[in-house]
Structure formats: C-alpha cells, structure tokens
Amino acid sequence: MSLVTGLDILSVARKGKYGVGAFNTNDMEITQAILEAAEEAHSPVIVSLSEGAIKYGGDALIDMVIHEAKQATVPVAVHLDHGSSYESCMRCIRAGFTSVMIDKSHEDEETNTREVKRVVEAAHAVGVSVEAEIGRLGGIEEHVVVTEDQVSLTEPSEAKRFIDNTDADFLAIAIGTSHGANKGKGRPFIHHDRIKEIAVVVPQPLVMHGASGVPQDIVARLIAAGGKIEGAVGIHEDDVRKAVTEGIAKINTDTDLRLTFTAVVREILMNTPEQFDPRKILGPARTEMKRIVAERIDVFGSANKA
Ligand code: G3H
Ligand code: 13P
Ligand code: ZN
C-alpha cells in the first residue's frame, strides 16, 4: 500500500464524495499520531510538511516521514504545504515527496498561472501531483499574512480558467475558512453555494485549507493548564461534512494538532512537576493527537476507504 500520489487518493475521494485529511507534521510524534490513526481507521491520509516544518526538522524530518509513509498499511501521500517557489517544490520532489503545493495565490492570476505551470510541467514529468490555489484565505502562514480586508472568495470562472491553464491536479479555494485558531466570531460562515458553483466547472478535487475544528474542550484544557488563547473558533464539523459532498476532497488540519499537543504537554508539566522524561511528556501528547486525527477521519468520511 504505502506511498502514493496525492491525486491517487483525492480523485477517488472526490468521486466518492468523502474527504481525506491532510495533516501537518513537524516531528516524529505528530507523524506517528497521524499514521497510526489512519491505519486503525483503514483510511487513506496525506501527511503535509510546510516549509517551516522542513526548516525546523531538515532532512531528518523528511527522511523519517517518507520512511514511515512507506511502511504504512494504508495509502499515504507526502505533501509539501504552501510551497513558495519552484525551487522549494523541486527540493521536495527530489527528496521523494509524492505531492506538492505551489502557492502563488497572493500574486495576480497571470503570475500565479505562470508559476504553477512551471511546477506542473516538472512534477508531472516524474509522476508527482500538484496543488495550486486561487482566491485568498485569511490568517497567517509562514510567508504570507492575509488580513480580513484582503480576503477574497474564489470566483468559479477564474477557478475554471486557472485549472484549465495550469493543469494542476487539485485546487485550493477560498470559501470562508482561514488559517489558525481564530476563524471568526460565532460560527464561521462557509459559502456552500460557492463550493457547489466551483465544483460544477472544476471536476478536479477541491481543497479546504484552514479547516481545523478548534475543539473547545481542548481549548479549555489548554487555558486551565496555564495557556493563553482568546476567541479561539474553528470550522463547524457539519460544514465539513457538507463540504465533502459538494466537491471538497482534501481537508487541511494543523491547528487542532498544535492545540492538542500543547494542552497535553502543559497539563503534564503542571500536574507532575517532578517529571523530566521526554517520553512521558511527548507520549501522552501523541496519544491525544491520535484521538483527534481519528475524530477528524470520522467527520471526513474516509474510514474504511483504504
Ligand atoms: O497553513 C499553514 C500550516 O498551518 C503550516 O504552518 O508554516 O507555521 O508550519 P507553518
Ligand atoms: P488550520 O490552521 O485550520 O489547521 O489549517 C491548516 C492548513 O490549511 C494547512 O495548510
Ligand atoms: Zn493552508
């Protein structure tokens, strides 16, 4: 089973009207939490590394993730998240990634199209899938900060033109989500009509970035253990369940795992001040992140699709 391309996983998901989680990793514990949960649920999964993750973990992280993905008993794609340049994508392809995102969504359409085409030509020549983005989500990523007034929903006609002109394999769209733990006040409004309109003209799998649910019990535990976080709000799981029936096939989740990791580590450090064995601190964090991944897989509907 093991290492497959992003498109192998996502084309089946789009047709089957379910979503597949693309979970961000930065270390061994997160990677194992993702893969173990996927294996137990018999679910395909995408393991994503951002440029920030790669800078943090270097080749050691890349090699570990690819090694673990190859050993997995379910289909796994190893994906570059929000690649900022052609060079960054090529480095990942050379290292063995099976999927890359080239994100030029903050540029004008002409530049975005030109840059994506370049990556697509090189990636397709070696059988690697490419994700591109059109429209602008809110929130913070490694190399771009998008404020509320800069957010713009993806237009169906521009999405179609862009995918036709670039030949990208899957398309990230802006439909009301945003990156990070503060996705709005109350329940963030997801533009389901827009997803459906885009899905009519773009048959490729669609991608929802900024899809974390920001579980309020985890936020409460983080705060109770001394963490400071205000107005943390995520995407309602009913919106995700609905979106996967409308054309969304790849669902990105990072914040939920970050919150969970930090809540558990804080609890252990607070409740057992005598503890200094890293395994007794990181191990329980891994277990809890695995539980969160399993819950997400259930919401996405990808269990037993491996
Ligand atoms: O969308 C961005 C991901 O959450 C990765 O974040 O660039 O801080 O690793 P990062
Ligand atoms: P969240 O911040 O909602 O987890 O989104 C992560 C993401 O989109 C990674 O590309
Ligand atoms: Zn993202």
Fold topology of 6-300: TIM Barrel (3.20.20)
Q: Mutation test of ligand 2: which of 49, 136, 212, 292 has the most ligand atoms closer than 8 Å to its C-beta?
A: 212
pLDDT computed for residue 136 by the predictor: 87
Q: Which band of pLDDT confidence, cut at 50, 70 and 90, is reported for residue 285? A: very high
Q: What is the pLDDT of residue 2?
A: 85
Residues 59-116 have pLDDT tens digits of: 999 999 999 999 999 999 999 999 999 999 999 999 999 999 999 999 999 999 999 9
CA proximity to 150, closest of 117, 171, 179? 179
CA of 23 to the centre of ligand 2 (A): 8
- b/e 111-133 (16+ beta carbons within 10 angstroms → b): ebbebbbebbebbeeeebbbbbb
- Residue 185: the pLDDT is 87
80, 253, 292, 299: which to mutate for ligand 2, most atoms within 8 A of CB? 253
Q: Which of 23, 137, 146, 254 to mutate to test the pocket of ligand 2 (most atoms within 8 A of CB)?
A: 254
State the pLDDT at residue 145. 63
* Rounded average pLDDT over 132-154: 75
Q: pLDDT at residue 144 above 70?
A: no
State the sign of the Cα–Cα–Cα–Cα dihedral 95, 97, 102, 103: negative
Residue 1 has a pLDDT of 57
Mean pLDDT on 295-303: 98
Q: DSSP H helical segments within 44-189, as ranges? A: 51-71, 86-95, 109-125, 156-166
Tens digits of per-residue pLDDT, 235-264? 999 999 999 999 999 999 999 999 999 999
Quote the pLDDT of residue 155. 96
pLDDT digits (tens, 9 = 90+) for 6-61: 999 999 999 999 999 999 999 999 999 999 999 999 999 999 999 999 999 999 99
pLDDT in tens, 116-137: 999 999 999 999 999 999 998 8
Report d(CA 30, CA 16) in Å as an integer: 28
**146 vs 290, more confident:** 290
- Crossing angle between the packed helical segments 28-41 and 51-71, to the nearest 10 degrees: 40
AA identity, residue 97: F
Q: Is residue 223 scored above 70 in pLDDT? A: yes
Closest Cα to atom 7 of ligand 1: 142
Q: Would you list the domain boundaries of the chain? A: 6-300
Around ligand 2, the residues with Cβ closer than 6 Å are 24, 81-82, 179-180, 209-212, 252-255
Q: How far is the CA of 101 from the centre of ligand 3 (A)?
A: 10
Query: Sorting pLDDT into bands at 50, 70 and 90, what band is 152?
Result: confident
- Evaluate if residue 139 carries a pLDDT over 80: no
54 in Cβ contact with 61 (< 8 Å): yes
Q: How far apart are CA 166 and CA 145, in angstroms?
A: 25
**Cα distance between the two ends of the chain:** 9
State the number of CA atoms in the 13 A half-sphere of 26 facing the CB: 12
From 87, 20, 36, select the one nearest 250 (Cα to Cα): 20
Please state, rounded to an integer, the average pLDDT across all residues of the chain.
Answer: 96
pTM of the complete model: 0.96
Find the residues whose C-beta lies inside 6 A of ligand 1. Answer: 24, 50, 52-53, 81-82, 141-142, 179, 254
Q: Are 298 and 20 in contact (CB under 8 A)?
A: no
**What is the separation of C-alpha 272 from the centre of its chain, rounded to a whole number of angstroms?**
33
**140 C-alpha to ligand 1 centroid (Å):** 8
Neighbours of 52 (CB within 10 A): 15
Q: What is the pLDDT of residues 159-213, one digit of tens each?
A: 999 999 999 999 999 999 999 999 988 999 999 999 999 999 999 999 999 999 9
Residues annotated as part of the active site: 81
- For residue 137, the model assigns a pLDDT of 84
Q: Ligand 3 centroid vs 210 CA: distance in angstroms?
A: 6
